[in-house]
Amino acid sequence: MNKNYIITGLVVFVLAVLSPFWFNIVTTTQAMPEAELLGKSKTEKKCVLDKYEMRANHMSLLDEWRDAVVRDADRQYKSANGHSFNMSLSTGENSCLGCHEDKAKFCDSCHTYASVDPYCWECHTNPKEIK
């Protein structure tokens, strides 16, 4: 009977196609690191956008900020939630690093996990690394 062959074949096929899932079930994978909020960012409780949007879209926001600062000389950003920020990655109190003080635990932990390697820090300076 062909029916048995077909069904066995299908089962083998489905098992094979889903093999990455089986692999992940039996092996332990490193959980996605939570960006650690330290220092000022822990108590401030306000960011430019809400947490999930920042997680997903911070790169577009930084891109927008860069154009605004460099091309239009706009440096102040009043976000939709009413808070004002200094559009800067690493300079001044009200910049990204001014609040999220620890680059290693805030930026690098996720970037390393996601194996993305943005070149921000080839030029921008992390105050902690310089000292």
What residue ranges bind another protein (CB under 8 A)?
48-50, 53, 57, 60-61, 64, 66-68, 70-80, 87, 90-91, 119, 122-125, 127, 130
Nearer to another protein, 30 or 93 (CB): 93
CB 79, min distance to another protein, A: 5
For the chain, list the strands marked E by DSSP.
76-78, 84-86
Nearer to another protein among residue 8 and residue 76 (C-beta) = 76
How would you classify residue 39: left for phi > 0, otherwise alpha for psi between -120 and 50, otherwise beta?
A: left
Report, in Å, the least distance between residue 59 CB and another protein.
Answer: 12
Q: How far is the CB of 28 from another protein (least distance, A)?
A: 32
Ordered DSSP codes for 4-66? HHHHHHHHHHHHHHTHHHHHHHHS--PPPPPPP--THHHHH---SS-HHHHHHHHHHHHHHHH
Look up residue 129 and give its DSSP letter. Answer: H
Q: How far is the CB of 37 from another protein (least distance, A)?
A: 20
**Nearer Cβ to another protein (17/123):** 123
